[in-house]
Chain A
Amino acid sequence: MAAAALLRRSPAARALLSPALSARLVASKPHSSALAPPPPSSKPAAPANMKTFSIYRWDPDSPSTKPHLKDYQVDLSDCGPMVLDALLKIKNEQDPSLTFRRSCREGICGSCAMNIDGDNGLACLTKISGASSASTVSPLPHMFVIKDLVVDMTNFYSQYKSVEPWLKRKDPPPQEGKEILQSKADRAKLDGMYECILCACCSTSCPSYWWNPEEYLGPAALLHANRLPLWGTLIKPKPNMFMHLQARGYRGVADKRNLLDHKRRLLAEKYELRGKLYKAVCRDPDLPLDMREKFRYKLSKLPRNSSMTRLRNRCIFTGRSRAVYKKFRMSRIMFRTLANKGELTGVKKASWWIQDSRDQFTKERLDAINDEFKLYRCHTIKNCTHACPKGLNPAKQIDTIKKLQIDA
């Protein structure tokens, strides 16, 4: 009935009541859903921050015009921070005919690679420098221009293809139908190479690539070449090598020193308990001196060759006493010889596709690029490392390939 009474209240009364009620409500219960004070109707107009962009333009459809730089004014206060934002703003508002490649706007596709203020980079990752100076945007240097900022990448892609950037194996994977396993350490070697997005910033910044674009592969393709092969991995263990070599009783090693050492080991084993016992008694200060003396005498009577100190880990192949590694039971010389032959399971020279432990075609890959032009046009100018928008170091990878060529 109270509700009904409320409803029947006259409009005037209701009008009187409601503001008071609402005021009370507002005062007593500040609610998060209550209307926030309306936002200022318009922000005080940010001062127009104009920046000039000089953009390379060339239209193949009007053949008589030469390529030229056209100036565009952009209000930076109304524009995103990256050069790509400015380009899109120009395209949307001022000149729709401006042509450029772009796709992801986040630096992962590599489409928007261009030359900004003299440095190659991705437009979506390059911040606009301050409004004070004009910026020049031009296509990647020394590449054929198709239109405005779009360049012809076919040569670049065909060089990438020529490196055969896929895994190649000589024998089938160890487990049919499953992935080829790789240790964490081996996978860690691929870091710094797999992130390459083929944007071509590095190759087009290399003067050596400018002068020989057809023959020299360029930092990007070489980086991918380095990614794949791995030196002598997946060596099949030779079955006979270690089978007869046990901790004791190795036969077939006709080396006097090893035989003698073996004899010492046998004796040491035989007298081990006894010797330790005598020694313990000798050294025990709580025992009477004559007893200790007696055991001292007994200890001295034990054969000399039963002493542990006379044992020496010798190389099992050559009998060399020095530079013997416990893990392999051989001296450094034999280790090196066998490792290079590939007869030691799991031992390989560290290297990167050349570096990928799963790829077996290292030697062929190295040979393929080992001619005067493909690899050796690189004179470590290092422009590529400076240009790479992903922060990779193609120069370093090229360096490792060159080192491998020396070893190969």
Chain B
Amino acid sequence: MASRPKLSGIQKQVLALYRGFLRTARLKSPEERRRIESVVSAEFRDNARNVDRRNFVYIEYLLRRGKRQLEQLKNPDITGLATLEVKK
């Protein structure tokens, strides 16, 4: 078995947030679920690549933002998520 790297607290939080999103997506309708999963995983992967792992301030900011979005998504009245592309 490959030795798993020891995850830091903040890494655990990020993974927990990701898990939370996936679990919440399960509760929505199937095509919404796919859309949520693709949006969320794309965002997480992007940030994982672009954000410097030592930039705690920014990572914590993203975590807080993500948690708030997750709270909103958990609400049963919310049916899905959508994204907008803003061209600078």
> Which residues does B use to contact A, with CB under 8 Å?
50-52, 55, 57-58, 60-61, 64, 68
Contacts and interface: CB of A to CB of B under 8 A. Distances in A.
A146 B58 CA distance: 10
Which of A60, A63, A64 is packed against the most chain B CB atoms within 10 Å?
A63
18 contacts: A60-B58, A60-B61, A63-B50, A63-B51, A63-B52, A63-B55, A63-B58, A64-B52, A64-B55, A66-B57, A67-B57, A144-B60, A144-B61, A144-B64, A145-B61, A146-B61, A152-B64, A154-B68
**5 A-B pairs with least C-beta separation:** A63-B58, A60-B61, A63-B51, A63-B55, A144-B64
A346 B50 CA distance: 68
Contacts, number: 18
Contacts of B68: 154
A145 B60 CA distance: 11
A350 B51 CA distance: 58
A49 B40 CA distance: 51
Contacts of A144: 60-61, 64
Interface of A: 60, 63-64, 66-67, 144-146, 152, 154
A253 B88 CA distance: 90
Nearest to A144: B64
Nearest to A145: B61
A interface, by DSSP: helix, strand, loop or mixed? loop
Contacts of A67: 57
A154 B70 CA distance: 14
A144 B61 CA distance: 8
A144 B57 CA distance: 10
Contacts of A154: 68
A331 B68 CA distance: 61
Nearest to B67: A154
B49 to A, nearest CB: 12
A336 to B, nearest CB: 50
Nearest to A60: B61
A307 to B, nearest CB: 81
Contacts of A60: 58, 61
B7 to A, nearest CB: 21
Nearest to B55: A63
A93 B29 CA distance: 48
A65 to B, nearest CB: 9
Contacts of B55: 63-64
